[in-house]
Chain A
């Protein structure tokens, strides 16, 4: 079996007395779509932020191609980050910039593309995500679903090799939700990027995933294919994917 692209080994992370990760072990493989599921507040976004170096673990290791992320030199980390794009749960669009400037930002600030090239790339993404005509609007003037698509366009405009999606379809209607899932799948096949998706869209998200991991009480309690998780008879896993359980825990 090939070695993982990103690997969590016994990772622990606490915020004060809140022990979010209590020994996470997880493998993410190249060119695959890996979906992370789990209850709200179980630490899925925190896990994602460890991958891109926005947070560092208290103990354990987070490895990228076998190299510890937290101890990378500044230069290596810069090169490492160039591979990534991140789509935030709350979109993290810049309120003071218009939609065009928001999508173009990763290109205008970090690369040496000409204005024309940047314009072409941005317009292509806007067309693919059906947000043409919003260039001069500001994020506050758009609906939740439109903002989601702008954030997605910004995440994909740099043509990254690894994309981290933090609940990419929250707030979208079923048609657009399926559209986004299909788009992630088709881009993943077209460009061959590795995708890590935190999602609650069960079972729809399983349609596009090659690998699923479930985070529960600070640990990964399941890793495997979508078919395997659907057939899993571990109580915590099956009750979660079937939407059963004690709501007071949430």
Chain B
């Protein structure tokens, strides 16, 4: 009984260490192959279209409603202290420092990350990745590197879009619906946001881009090595779920770590 428990803990630990090592090697190999010739410009553009451009609508929708709800909640909280004029600062700082990068990361994971994990998982189980190896094409370079570059380019832009739309959302609620002076709202936004806030949000979006792409691509790539969720189509669905859950959890973990380091 005790021996079995110790054995189980041991094998679980070994599996975790192996998985972590595999993902880090995957990441470093992907990073390295970004700089190997020939450049994969067309593929990068194609992935920017998929990860970035096609996520714009969902980011704008999420951004506007997040901003509007922040405006609403902020207004009724600040009015108790007679500080409703500070709504612009509250909305802008909350979005730029925290909610912008985090919600953008989570929404891209839901829209593009899951699709990436599923696509690569299917490539794995249908031997397409083996086919690349037999053609002497490095699968990590072919599959992961262009997506990594595309994410690193797309995430900051989408985060900026989320922030701007969110601030507009706050303006709609605060100024147009609840009657705060529009000039004051905009003045507070301009007055309170400093370069460090923007840099912090930018750094977070870059880190989230690397985390989400690495987790989603590696979950698909190593679908065949996981045994808990089943094989074939079930294995792909398990990898996809894992990719989304792990990405979202890691976004929140890294958000805390970066915030702690930046403050």
Interface residues of chain A, those whose CB is within 8 Å of chain B, are: 49, 52-54, 78, 81-82, 84-86, 88, 90, 92-96, 105-106, 109-110, 158
Contact = CB atoms under 8 A, between A and B. Distances in A.
Nearest to B125: A90
A224 B259 CA distance: 70
Given A95-B122, A96-B119, A105 B127 contact: no
Nearest to A157: B135
Contacts, number: 47
Interface in B151-179: none
B136 interface: yes
If over half of B's interface residues share one DSSP class (helix, strand or loop), that class is named, otherwise mixed; here it is helix
A92 B119 contact: no
B41 interface: no
B135 A106 contact: yes
Interface in B118-139: 119, 122-123, 126-128, 130-131, 133-137
A92 B122 CA distance: 11
B126 A90 contact: yes
Contacts of A106: 135-137
A52 B127 contact: no
Contacts of B126: 90, 92, 95
Interface of B: 119, 122-123, 126-128, 130-131, 133-137, 142
Contacts of A82: 136
Given A82-B136, A94-B128, 9 more contacts: A52-B133, A54-B133, A81-B136, A92-B130, A93-B128, A94-B131, A106-B136, A110-B135, A110-B137
B134 A85 contact: yes
A92 B136 contact: no
B142 A90 contact: no
Contacts of A78: 136
A88 B142 contact: no
B130 A105 contact: no
Given A92-B127, A92-B128, A95-B122, A86 B136 contact: no
A110 B131 CA distance: 13
